[in-house]
Amino acid sequence: MATVRATRRAVVTGGAGFIGSHLCERLLEDGAEVVAVDNLVSGDRANLAELVGRPGFTFVERDVCPPGLPEALPGGPFDLVMHLACPASPADYLRLPLETLETGSHGTRSALELARRDGARLVLASTSEVYGDPEEHPQRETYWGHVNPVGPRSVYDEAKRFAEALVTAHRGVHGTDTAIARIFNTYGPRMRPGDGRAVPTFVRQALAGEPLTVAGDGSQTRSLCYVDDTVEGLLALAASGLPGPVNIGGDEEITILELARRVIALTGSRSGITRVELPGDDPVRRRPDTTLARERLGWSPRTGWETGLKKTVSWFSELPPAPRMTADHV
């Protein structure tokens, strides 16, 4: 296992987002002071409601892209920068294509300059989308990917691919202590019901008694990871000396059709399943090879799908009714 280092002061960009808010919570529980940065374009203040007012936590509402990010943050110097800022769901990056690309480029540069100033370790939250519609299965970190640079998903895919290149170059030129995490499909409480991803869409549809909208024939696969496990993986990478990239994701591959059936069974819903058109460039298969994370970080997912889905369903069941929606199955 890689050498473990302690975190005293951390910055989490995208801290009001789904994974970011869970990460802020865990860092605080571990005794770190945390500054969450988010422009709330896709994040939500409600995700941080239980953290506001807690000793050691600060929220800064601002974009990561304009210059001056290091000077704009209270506290510091920081020893960890977790860079999660970026629209991540189809609904968001299709609505905000230029902002998504700017966050991957200018936003990543700002986060790197902050890390360089303070001698902090920076962890880039990259994505399995850098593999595109993969021709290698399962996907290892050495795989270069099969990505359409001008396709409907390209703004997100290429933003993350460029961010990885920028982080790697910054490490080489300036010696910045960096790491790249390639996050696979993550689910859990605080996902937005209308963000277009399969789990929140299916859960909301099942709870509302609506048909679950499965794209295509539903044979496309994903490997799901509960958010607590993803956070554990990110922190394990942060505490190590590995530069990455390192895959962080679930090890159980499941078809979208089977996922829909499991959600119906788990919620006790009488919903049926209806078919919708398959989105363009939708990956056919997606499963990480997590050998590197297991052997070098001592990390592997621990939350079974039934436990994770039960927690997710419980959280969604307390939300007010949401508009009808379909899943993009990201």
Active site residues: 156
Instruction: Give dist(CA 219, CA 110) in Å, integer.
Output: 40
Hey, what are 129's tokens?
Answer: 């989308």
Instruction: Give dist(CA 46, CA 59) in Å, integer.
Output: 12
Instruction: Give dist(CA 85, CA 43) in Å, integer.
Output: 9
Sign of CA pseudo-dihedral 181, 182, 187, 189: positive
Hey, what are 224's tokens?
Answer: 């799901």
Hey, what are 94's tokens?
Answer: 């299709």
Please identify which residue in the block is written with the tokens 């895959």.
247
Alpha-helical (H) ranges within the chain are 18-29, 69-72, 90-95, 97-102, 108-118, 154-174, 198-208, 227-238, 256-267, 291-292, 305-316
